Structure 1
């Protein structure tokens, strides 16, 4: 079994049971405990698990939100593919909204230089990146800055979004499930994402397959409010079918 497949199964076991232990995984996969410890360390660096004594637990069970630097180095190939697929949803002109996040930031990097767009974002890193593009009109939505995500949140942010209407909003999320919809660990982030949904004609969610069938503390939207989910090809076909039955079109990058 390749390490990538073993990592996927470890995360699945952790999410299903709430915890995995080193000795049990070593016996199941017929590998050494040192191999399992290296696996758990790699998954912790990706922001998927949190190491505890004797094993690991999924970060969502703690309401834990990985730092921006941690998320930026996780699932990089999948995020690149998702961003490229999401480019098809970016209009040639008009206004778009970019949520804070590492996948939406990758999409921002890929916006073609020949498109004259108005871009609204609450993400400081995205605003700084796009401010050097002369063909773009960039608006940074202000508010209280969360260091963990580099995003503006709070009442000021929501007030500005209430007076904004764009063609497409590109959102990130920490969790997506048919039962709970779109979720994230922080209530302030959830409130801003909810306002973004209300500020857009169309809503496109960018999320890799590890976010699917996962729920977090704060809910910010129903799947019925989403037009498109762009994810990577590792998504279970049955999960994809369930999401589409709930409303959005699912694009596998």
Structure 2
């Protein structure tokens, strides 16, 4: 096998994918705007050709869900260039309901499906690692996780599972043409998540429900664009409305085992000191 390209190679999933490929002794090239083996910017096609050189399989990420981003062009154009460059296997990390018209990642999914090469689409639910490496870590460390989710529940998926499924799709033939909806084994509320982290760390942590408009204002105040803040708020409100609680069998279909539990994520993350 020639080189495997991992876009977003320094991110939550990309770094885990690259590490697994390296351990397996497979040639991997990480690429991102600010790190990795190659500089790669979806807004700068001049960076695509060097990153794609000698690549036969690629993990694709659309890092922006901003309304100002041209989602109809970025990934679709990259898919065309990747296939022309000799890539024969594409794995796209997408999102729930991205198969529906109007979703920011719909065009990306359609481009991958119509690429004419082997493809797999991953649609993970909310990452468990958002509590330890992402936007909710600050609230965990401060002791108050203020989100407009009420008592809603969702089956947080471990990024380790996402990475393992991605590696399988990049290196094995049997995942071609598959769409894997990836979730954890059970839905939990943010209050329960905060409680589990509190017990594992000895901290006092609580979840506080926030009015959606207040949450939008707070996100804009810390640097989010208004459209991204509103989009994120809609997703969180959907959890509170009960529409994000369904579990899927994607991890088990892809890997032949159940997904990792949120409790396992919390135990291992606390032991590693990520909330110190």
Higher strand share: 1
Shared fold per TM-score greater than 0.5: no
Query: Normalised by the size of structure 2, how large is the TM-score?
Result: 0.34
What TM-score, normalized by structure 1, do the two folds share?
0.36
